[in-house]
Amino acid sequence: MYRYDAMVFADLDLSRRLERAEGQACLEFAEARRRLYPDSGATWIECAGAYAVFDGVDSPVTQSFGLGLSEPLSQASLDRIESFFLERGAGVVHEVSPLAGIETLDLLCTRGYRPVELSSVMYRPVERPVRKDHGAIIVRVAAIEDAPLWASVSARGWAHEHPELQDFLEQFGAIAFARQQGVNFIAELDGEPGATGTLCLHDRVALFGGASTIPEMRRRGLQTALLEARMSYAFDRGYELAMMVTEAGSQSQRNAERKDFRIAYTRTKWQLYRS
């Protein structure tokens, strides 16, 4: 099995790979929605090396990835991407790596964009984890018939403090489960499903996401077992880099750092505001 042993620097090349991997995961989400809901209008384009994804007017997936990383961002390219969103009634939002450069950020400011969110883009080499005894916890890859269960457990974890979002989150989870290059995992404690996680796989980058645990099973080691199982899965299939995105400075970031993830860069989400 081919392994990746070269040192990886937090530079432009790494940012291109990581942003491409997350953009790919988002466009596959839109494609999954379109398959499940043909009238949704979900679609995507590639422009100037960036992915622009429309998954619905209010969807958090509706945004772009990779502006200014593959080629300099021009007024014409930004015109096309903005039109893609505006023609569908959506706001214009871009996830922008600092490696896109001052010229990209200056153009966004000139065009009326404001920063609205910061996130930590994190990475580490994919390595075979040391096998540990997790007691009564079992982690398995979810089969197609597990889709409703996976979506339900995921939604219960995310909706704990906002039960009114349960139905929305179950639908969101069902779409996430249906991504073509996604692999979905379930962790069970004493035979009871309690936590979920996903891997989105692209160009030897394994994006770790979908981490959700139902309230009554938190702090029992389920997410640790899920991370180890996903790392092992990625290792066995020759993936090189593990990727994770968290809120900047959050507990999730600290948890990832405890698992040897490093911050590649702090990314800014920019939204278009017009007077």
As a 3-state breakdown, the chain gives helix, strand, coil percent values, each rounded to 5, of 40, 30, 30
Q: Domain count for the chain, please give it.
A: 2
> What own/partner pairs with CB < 8 Å and gap ≥ 24 does 170-174 have?
173/210, 174/36, 174/147, 174/148
pLDDT tens digits, one per residue of 184-240: 999 999 999 999 999 999 999 999 998 999 999 998 999 999 999 999 999 999 999
Q: Give the orientation angle of helix 147-158 with respect to helix 166-177, to 10 degrees.
A: 130
User: What average pLDDT does the segment 238-261 reach?
Assistant: 95
pLDDT at 108: 98
Is 134 in the same domain as 178?
Answer: yes
Residue 84 included in any domain: yes
pTM of the complete model beyond 0.85: yes
Residue 113 included in any domain: yes
Is 80 in the same domain as 171?
Answer: no
Is 95 in the same domain as 195?
Answer: no
pLDDT at 2: 40
**Strand partners for 125:** 241
Is 163 in the same domain as 131?
Answer: yes
- Dihedral through CA 16, CA 17, CA 22, CA 23, nearest 10? 50
Classify 70 as helix, strand or coil.
coil
pLDDT at 257: 96
Residue 115 included in any domain: yes
Is 152 in the same domain as 113?
Answer: no
Which residue is associated with the tokens 């994919």? 126
pLDDT at 134: 83
DSSP state of 160: T
Residue 203 included in any domain: yes
Is 189 in the same domain as 232?
Answer: yes
What range defines the domain where residue 134 resides?
127-239
Is 44 in the same domain as 113?
Answer: yes
Burial of 3 (0-12, 13-18, 19+ CB in 10 A): exposed
pLDDT at 163: 87
- Please report, for the domain that includes residue 230, its CATH number: 3.40.630.30
pLDDT at 8: 84
